Chains A and B, each alone.
Chain A
Amino acid sequence: MGILDHLEHRLGIRSAFVESMSGKRPPAGIGFLRCLGFAALTVLVLQFLSGIALALHYQPSVDLAYDSIRAFEQDIAYGRLVRGLHHYGASAFVVFVALHMLRVYFTGAYKAPREYTWLTGMGLLLLVLGFGFTGYLLPWDQKAYFATKVGCEIASDTPVVGAQVADMLRGGDEVGQGTLTRFYVIHVVLLPLGLLGLLGLHLYLIQRHSVAPPGLPVGVEGPKGPPYFPYHTFKEAVVGVVVALALFVVATLYPAELGDLANPADTEFQPRPDWYFLGLFQLLKLFPTNREIGTFYIPAAFVGILVLLPFVDRTRARHWKSRPIATLLGGLACIVIVGLTAWGGLADRMAAKPDDAQQPAAEDEYKGPDMPMPRGLTNFERRGYQVVRQQKCIHCHETRLGETSYGRMKYRAPGLHELESEDAIAMFDYITQPDSDDMPAFGNLPAEDRLAAASFLMWLRQETEKKDK
């Protein structure tokens, strides 16, 4: 008696799953279109795995979140790949869940007795969007910060309890550390728990009722096809491999973007949501007044209609040609959603440009790239870096960071990496009240900011000296 037989006798896994599945015969004529749900499941497994790897390195604090992602990408073997997988996996998940839902809608598969399979699927879709919204904040870069600020503002449009909902999400009245902690817990604890529960129910219901026979009205059992296992599962396995391969290729060729560190004081940044919220974001342009129509009532009505769909649509026909109204409405909804998303994507280019002519004396202004945030800064020095950046020091001090130069020299100012002050205190005094006519005094900045800037500049000089040796 082999070990496998022994385990089978004690655990009964083979008879419970494989044999019961090979005994089940789904309707004839189901093909690759019935594998979209499995494609989503494949992505989900990759999301769990890559998400756990990310969570083991991630620091959910506003001081460290950004750097922990950067270090994960730059120092850890396969780090860039894993973050890419998680980043594109999020989009792929939304795509497959949406396609799966469209397939179920247009084939009428949500009708009796599968109303609750549809309902759990709707729940899963909402959880997926929740994952997207909370996960977007975690890298704590510019787009993360500002998109979340806007998102919480949208949540405050919920009737009656809006303000409370927004406060609960933010954990206070500003997007900050409290928000990051909450989003992290929601993203890695609450949503996965809910997802696993709902997914279990969803899969159980699919096993219980099998797949809807293609094209046949409710109540008509057509001819049976070959057993589910291994015939349909083989197609699913092929789909799984193709999806995983595609994600690996995309994540390798186009590493996920990490923008600048979040800076609440930046007025230059233009917030954009992730692409699957773009349609919703764009919808708001259509409601110049009463924005809650676009932020709450239309999305809520849309979800409400989808939730009630199998209970309202009691007709028997399943084939799309036999239910022209449902097909027409579904097609229209697709066109509107795709159209709004595409419009949102194009809006950046179509947006009215500010009148450059009216900008004051921009002629000899430095227009090159900003100095990127160096690695290896303490929290305090990092704040100093942001002060230096906000005060546009490199507009007069040409500065070297590693091998690259930033900024341009004006008034023969020395580079920021070669300032001569003896220590941070002397640097602080110089920033506060310089003894040069060309250098403006920065005494109006908070003392802490001046000291932070001085600490950063000392770090920069020591780092450059170390590298030059």
Chain B
Amino acid sequence: MPDDHDPDFDEDFEGAPQAPTHGPSHHVDDTPTRRRMMSLLTVALGGVPLLGGLLVSLRAGLSPSAGERPEQIPLCPLKDVPESGIKQVTVTYRQRQGALVENVSKVVFVTREPTSGEVIAMLGQCTHLACPVQPKPVTLEGGEVAPLTCPCHDGRFSATGEVLAGPPEKPLKRLKLAPLPEEPEGMLMLEGI
């Protein structure tokens, strides 16, 4: 009860029975050892619901939802791959993530290996920090031309995705192609992205 006298307070409780100052109480054996033991138990018991809740909630909350994506993704007709130069294709595929089904779009560069003529596909995403790679030729200091560039930290790539300059350490990610179609009109298929 507050110490300072407030007549208003007394008014509210006029006639209220006074609590006995001495009365029967449960006997508690309050020794220092017992007190320490009970304190420890309180903290330990209090921690159980907290830790239990934290553990399962964090585990469930932080895990990404289970997902799936198609095994084969159509890229472009074989006849569209230029004999020299780079073709930029935007592929779109359905990806499931938990209850969510999204159309994911990604930029892919398709070209031919200059010596063997083999068709190759690369992800248009810089291997440094995932910025979008642009098909804009830039002349390097030595006079060499880099046909693919990343604007973020000036990464430069060759037509086949090798690093020519800048911070990227790895070449552009090569995407696996399904066996080429026999007809030129046939569709090139990516196996995974």
- CB 8 Å contact bits of B155-167 with A (1 = contact, 0 = none): 0000000000011
What are the interface flags for A360-392 relative to B under an 8 Å C-beta threshold, 1 for contact and 0 otherwise?
000000000000000000000001000000100
Question: Within the complex, what minimum Cβ distance (angstroms) separates A13 from chain B?
Answer: 14
- The answer to whether A172 touches B64 (Cβ under 8 A) is yes
Check A270–B151 contact: CB distance below 8 A.
yes
Contacting residue for A6 out of B8, B90, B95, B139, CB 8 A: B8
Interface size (A, Cβ < 8 Å)?
48
State whether A267 and B104 are in contact (beta carbons under 8 Å apart), knowing that A354-B149, A390-B90, A446-B92 are contacts in the complex.
Answer: no
Which single residue of chain A is at the shortest CB-CB distance from B149? A354
A271 cross-chain contacts in B, Cβ below 8 A: 131-132, 152
B167 & A289 in contact (Cβ 8 Å cutoff): yes
Give the complex CA separation of A206 and B8 in angstroms: 36
- Please measure, in the bound complex, the distance between the C-alpha atom of A351 and the C-alpha atom of B136, giving whole angstroms: 13
Complex interface bits, B20-60 against A, C-beta within 8 A gives 1, otherwise 0: 00000000000000000000000000000000000000000
**Contact of B137 with A267 in the complex, beta carbons under 8 Å:** no
The smallest beta-carbon distance between A290 and chain B, in angstroms, is: 8
Residues of B within 8 A of A167 (CB): 64
Chain B residues whose C-beta falls within 8 Å of the C-beta of A288 in the assembled complex: 166-167
Q: Decide: A354 and B77 in contact? CB cutoff 8 A.
A: no
Contact with B along A270-291 (1 / 0, CB 8 A): 1100000000010011011101
Q: How far is the CA of A270 from the CA of B149 in the complex (A)?
A: 11
Asked if B134 and A351 make an inter-chain contact with CB atoms under 8 angstroms apart, the answer reads no
Q: Are A9 and B6 in contact (CB under 8 A)?
A: yes
Residue in contact with A265 in the complex, picked from B107, B131, B139, CB distance below 8 Å? B107
| Measured CA separation A176–B100 after assembly (Å) | 10
A62 to B104, CA, bound (A): 12
How big is the B interface, by class?
35 or more
- B138 interfacial by beta-carbon distance below 8 Å: yes
Contacting residues, chain B, for A263 (C-beta < 8 A)? 105
Q: How far is the CA of A218 from the CA of B129 in the complex (A)?
A: 46
How near does chain A come to B132, taking the closest CB pair, in angstroms? 5
Residues A437-457 near B (CB distance < 8 A): 444, 446, 448-449
Tell whether, in the assembled complex, residue B154 and residue A153 are in contact, meaning their CB atoms are under 8 Å apart.
no
Residue from the list B77, B97, B137 in contact with A177, Cβ < 8 A: B97
Contact yes or no, A178 B97, CB < 8 A: yes
Q: Which of B92, B134, B167 contacts A354 (CB 8 A)?
A: B134
On whether the beta carbons of A267 and B130 are closer than 8 Å, the reply is no
User: What separation, in Å, do the CA atoms of A150 and B154 have in the docked complex?
Assistant: 15
In the complex, A178 Cα to B135 Cα: how many Å? 30
Distance, CA A291 to CA B129, complexed state (A): 9
Q: How far is the CA of A263 from the CA of B166 in the complex (A)?
A: 26
Cα-based distance from A170 to B8 in the complex (angstroms): 60
Does A171 lie within 8 Å of B64, measured CB to CB? yes
**Residue B83 is within 8 A (CB to CB) of chain A in the complex:** no
Pick the contact of A267: B2, B100, B135 (CB < 8 A): B135
Complex Cα spacing A264 to B95, Å: 14
How far does the alpha carbon of A289 sit from the alpha carbon of B6 in the complex, in Å?
75
Q: A352 to B164, alpha carbons, bound, how many Å? A: 15
A146 contacts chain B at the CB level, 8 A cutoff: yes
Q: How far is the CB of B90 from chain A (nearest CB, A)?
A: 4
Residue A127, interface by CB 8 Å:
no
One digit per residue, 1 when the CB lies within 8 angstroms of any chain B CB and 0 when it does not, for chain A 145-176 equals 01001101110000000000001101111101
What 1/0 flags go to A162-205 for Cβ under 8 Å of B? 00000110111110111000000000000000000000000000
Q: A168-B64, A266-B132, A267-B107 are known contacts. Are A287 and B88 too (CB-CB below 8 A)?
A: no
Give the contacting residue for A449; candidates B2, B92, B167; CB below 8 A.
Answer: B92
> Does B179 reach chain A (CB closer than 8 Å)?
no
Report the minimal beta-carbon distance from A90 to chain B, rounded to whole angstroms. 23
Chain A nearest CB from B93 CB (Å) reads 9
Q: A171-B65, A178-B98, A284-B153 are in contact. Are A355 and B167 (CB under 8 A)?
A: no
A358 within 8 A of partner (CB):
yes
Is B105 within 8 A of A351, CB to CB?
no
Please report which residues of chain B, range 107-152, place their CB below 8 angstroms from some CB of chain A when the two chains form the complex: 107, 124, 128-139, 145, 149, 151-152
Residue of B nearest to A353 (CB): B138
- Judge if B16 is at the interface, Cβ distance under 8 Å: no
Contacting pair B167 A287 (CB below 8 A): yes
Please report which residues of chain A, range 130-155, place their CB below 8 angstroms from some CB of chain B when the two chains form the complex: 146, 149-150, 152-154
A442 to chain B, nearest CB (A): 13
Q: Is A1 an interface position by the 8 A CB rule?
A: yes
On whether the beta carbons of B154 and A264 are closer than 8 Å, the reply is no
B191 at interface by CB-CB < 8 Å: no
A150 touches B105 (CB 8 A): no
A residues 409-451 with Cβ under 8 Å of B? 444, 446, 448-449
| Residues of chain B lying within 8 A (CB to CB) of residue A383 | 103
CA distance A352 to B145 in the complex (A): 13
Q: Which residues of B contact A448 (CB under 8 A)?
A: 103
A177 contacts B100, C-beta separation under 8 Å = yes
Question: Least Cβ distance of B59 to chain A in Å?
Answer: 11
Contact B137 A354 (CB under 8 A): yes
Q: Is A404 in the interface zone, CB < 8 Å from B?
A: no
B9 closest partner in A (C-beta): A9
Give the complex CA separation of A265 and B108 in angstroms: 9
A390 to B92, CA, bound (A): 13
B76 contacts the other chain (CB 8 A): yes
Contact of B129 among A153, A352, A390, A444 (CB under 8 A): A153
Other than the given A289-B169, A355-B138, 14 more pairs (CB < 8 A) read A1-B6, A62-B102, A146-B132, A150-B129, A168-B62, A176-B97, A176-B102, A178-B98, A267-B107, A270-B152, A352-B154, A354-B137, A354-B138, A355-B137
Q: Enumerate 6 A-B pairs (CB-CB under 8 Å) in ascending A order.
A: A1-B7, A9-B6, A265-B92, A268-B132, A285-B153, A448-B103
What 5 A-B pairs are tightest by C-beta distance, nearest first? A354-B136, A265-B105, A270-B151, A265-B90, A153-B130
